[in-house]
Structure 1
Amino acid sequence: MTIEILQTNKLLASCEAALAERYTVHRLHEAADPDALLADIAGRVRGIAGQRASRELIGKLPKLEIIANFGVGYDGIDTAAARERGIRVTNTPNVLNDAVAEITIGLMIALARRIPQADRFVREGRWLEGGYPLLTELNGKTVGILGLGRIGKEIAVRAQAMKMRVVYHGRRRQPDEPYVYYDALTDMARDCDWLVLIAPGGKGTEKIVSRQVLAALGPQGCLVNMARGTLVDEAALVELLANGGLGGAALDVFEKEPQVPEALFGLDNVVLSPHQGSATHQTRNKMGALVVANLDAHFAGEPLPSAVV
């Protein structure tokens, strides 16, 4: 009999097609009555594909063996509940490193040179009235990276190509890395021109970028969030951007996305992006393929390509 799995949210078309070829897929996110669907299939579902799996959902699936998360961040999966049951959890690392690193540098340049604002300046005919103001550049500046993991390292390499000095903060110093390590995030923010966030979400990093950290970054400093909106005290961020306490921000993620604080819309020192860090055809296809590869490996009794539990 074909193995039955549960899909918890919409996935890339290529991923959904590959799953359908191999498995009987029940799409929870499309069910008119999700509870009725779960009651019907609970005893047959052996895998989950998607970005959400709560303790409650895991508890309703007695035969569940594996959760294949679509994305490198897996804060939507209750890994503690999975671990208690001996359920494997996988993610999709590495394949998105380049895409996220590229857009990080792109957003930094967009903020430093106010590229979205310059585009509007030309389109609205204001260039006819006078030149665009002088701004700043990345070279010679110091960028502090919060979270020097796989993606953080790719951002660091690209920042060096822009002639920036790289420093970092994380849970521990990495002896093999050439960059200066700070054991206190506030100290790093104080010494940086740019603060890039690329650490995991979850309770351990919630509001780690506090008002104190933002104030330390200061009126000349810029924040770039490519991680999760929950890492930042968003209310303090908005306030400091509005009153000049923080120089600028390039934001790809938000605390309650897709809801974005309206106060940000009118600020000229902000560049906003709709959580598109890995949103390219190349990367998303690779991510989908890795979801499928993890499921295939598990049910074949082979080592998992990217296990986290």
Structure 2
Amino acid sequence: MNAVSKPRLLVLIPLTDTDRATLAAHFEVLYAPDAPQREHTLAREGATVRAVLTNGTTGLTADEIDAMPQLEFAAALGAGYENLALDHARAHGIALSNGAGVNADCVADHAIALLLAALRAIPQFDAACRAGVWRDALPMRPTLTGRKLGILGYGHIGAKIAKRAAGFDMPVGYHNRSPRDGVSARYFDSTLALAQWSDCLVVATPGGASTEHLVDRAVLDALGPQGFLVNVSRGSVVDTAALAAALREGRLAGAGLDVYEGEPEPPQALIALDNIVLTPHTAGTSPDVRAATVRNFIDNATRHFAGEALVTPL
């Protein structure tokens, strides 16, 4: 893409100055990272936009697609794409991509960190140490090694989590829409069956209507009072009220969440509990990952406008 023929790109998510400068070398960038700017830019410039960069949370609606008659390429920066109007976009011949797999290592690292933090009570013991409490006054915590790990959603991230679990000698089971070829982990045909088998359950499935509250009271009860839950997918997959009740009543031993319903507001039902570890949707973020996701978007867009196959199509 040369300077004369740069396609107009509408960016709907917050980016750093560095990211914007990187994109500006390839596109004429329209930056609208919040709702008022989004509405204003679409009204004034929508007819000239040929590409959109968004993410799964912010999405892209059918009405917004209709406001951009020249739109031919849209992408989610990360792996998630639950709020993109995919069918409407495809019906208009719009090419679609995401950042599948680009942040998988980072998310998998964070999932194991949350699991260890919850199982070993790292935040609570850190606070106790700072307060001068010695180990004799604290409860002993379980060992992670050898426990059965269930992975709900065996995509790029799920596979990376399984690889890390091998270092802890953990038997691994998983539930997916269908069994994966070439996977040594044990397949379960339902979330409930997986939870009944597991000591620890990590949620790595996509968000959206089809997975909303997939982890409900029945699944949490199947995981049981010695069980641990980690969610690094989307907050909507776990029933927050059911999780809070299970933790409060001792029907679940602990949890670690990087995502939760109602983001970015803190999960009020959970923040007062001492058997949960919370991080603010940071599992997939790091400087190197962010740079890689921007490069992945540029690669996909460049290939699209050159008439070539996308690297990570939807």
Say which SS state the counterpart of residue 154 (structure 1) adopts: helix
The equivalent of 1:171 in structure 2 is: 177
Q: 2:225 aligned with 1:219, yes or no?
A: yes
Residue by residue over 1:7-58, the C-alpha shift from the partner in whole angstroms, topping out at 9 and shown as x without a partner, is 1111244332111122111112268654342222122110001222111211
Sort the Cα spacing of 1:79 and 1:31 in 2 relative to 1 into closer, same or farther, 3 A: closer
Task: Kindly indicate whether the alpha-carbon contact (under 8 Å) linking 1:8 and 1:50 is maintained by their aligned counterparts in 2.
Answer: yes
1:202 matches 2:223? no
Q: Report what 1:115 is aligned to.
A: 122
Taking the TM superposition and a 5 Å limit, the aligned residue runs for 1:126-205 are 126-127=133-134, 130-205=136-211
Give the alignment partner of residue 7 of structure 1, picking from 6, 11, 14. Answer: 11
TM-score (norm 2): 0.93
Q: Report what 2:255 is aligned to.
A: 249
1:64 alignment partner in structure 2:
71
| Residue of structure 2 aligned with 1:288, choices 279, 290, 294 | 294
1:230 is matched with which residue? 236
Shift of residue 305 of structure 1? 1.1
Amino acid at match of 1:171: R
Compare relative contact order (CA 8 Å, sep 6+) and give the higher one, 1 or 2: 1
Deviates more, 1:25-34 or 1:237-246: 25-34
Q: Report the AA paired with residue 10 of structure 2.
A: L
Q: In the alignment, what sits opposite 1:44? A: 48
One-letter identity of the residue aligned with 2:248: A
Residue 35 to residue 226, structure 1, CA distance change in 2 (3 Å): closer
Report the TM-score, using the length of structure 1 for normalisation. 0.95
SS at match of 2:230: strand
Q: Which runs of 5+ in 1 are unaligned?
A: none
Partner in structure 1 of residue 132 of structure 2: 125
Whether the aligned pair in 1 keeps the contact of 2:102 and 2:293 (CA below 8 Å) is yes
Show the counterpart of 1:19.
23
Correspondence 1:69-84 to 2 at 5 A:
69-84=76-91
Q: 1:189 is matched by which residue type in structure 2?
A: A
Residue type at the aligned position of 1:160: A
For the Cα contact (< 8 Å) 2:110–2:283, is it kept in 1? yes
Cα deviation per residue 1:139-191 (whole Å; 9 max; x = unaligned)? 11101100111110110011111111100111011242111111021111011
Conserved 8 A contact 1:144-1:192:
yes
Deviations 1:104-144 (A, max 9, x none): 111111111111111111112223x9443211111111011
Greater Cα offset, 31-40 or 233-242 = 31-40
Q: RMSD across aligned C-alpha pairs, in angstroms?
A: 1.6
Check whether the contact 1:138–1:162 (CA below 8 A) recurs between aligned residues. Answer: yes
Partner of 1:121, secondary structure, is helix
Secondary structure of the residue aligned to 2:25 is helix
Question: Take 2:23 and 2:181, find their aligned partners in 1: how far apart are those partners?
Answer: 41
> Could you say if the C-alpha distance between residues 34 and 47 of structure 1 is closer, same or farther in structure 2, counting changes exceeding 3 Å?
same
User: Counterparts of 2:35 and 2:241 in 1: how far apart (Å)?
Assistant: 36
Partner Cα separation in structure 1 for residue 268 and residue 35 of structure 2: 33
The answer to whether the Cα contact below 8 Å between 2:49 and 2:68 also exists between their aligned partners in 1 is yes
Percent identical residues: 38
How many residue pairs were aligned?
307
